[in-house]
């Protein structure tokens, strides 16, 4: 099921929908939640409903929890889960070490 979800994100029409949502979000986390997450949720719903998950947000959450429970047991599932998350979650960047602490960086 996870492989099919990933494949669905790669379908031309879904890739275009995700790209438009990303453009609308402009790398703003609040706008990501507003524009990108609903599109990503819909794409997942379209696939997982054929496997007995409800075709609503709760179905996607149950699917995500199920995947999470298998990540530690199966490296392939962990890898695919990472791919899926990367498709709709922005990369998290950490602030430079020492930033905001008033300290001086060691050289």
Residue 98 inside a domain? The answer is: no
Residue 75 inside a domain? The answer is: yes
**pLDDT tens track, the chain, 107 positions:** 999 999 999 999 999 999 999 899 887 888 888 998 899 999 999 999 999 999 888 999 999 999 999 999 999 999 999 999 888 776 655 555 554 454 454 44
Instruction: State the CB neighbour count (10 A cutoff) for residue 29.
Output: 11
Question: Could you tell me the residue range of the domain that residue 38 belongs to?
Answer: 1-89
Residue 95 inside a domain? The answer is: no
Residue 106 inside a domain? The answer is: no
**Tally of CA atoms within 13 A in the half-sphere of 102 that contains its CB:** 0
């Amino acid at each position: 099921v996870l492989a099919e979800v990933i494949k669905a994100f790669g379908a031309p029409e879904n890739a275009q929908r995700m790209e438009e949502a990303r453009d609308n979000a402009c790398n703003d986390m609040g706008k990501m939640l507003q524009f990108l997450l609903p599109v990503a949720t819909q794409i997942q719903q379209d696939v997982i409903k054929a496997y007995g998950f409800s075709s609503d947000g709760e179905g996607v959450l149950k699917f995500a929890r199920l995947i999470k429970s298998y990540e530690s047991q199966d490296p392939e599932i962990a890898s695919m889960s990472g791919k899926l998350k990367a498709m709709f979650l922005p990369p998290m960047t950490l602030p430079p070490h020492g930033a905001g602490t008033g300290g001086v960086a060691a050289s």
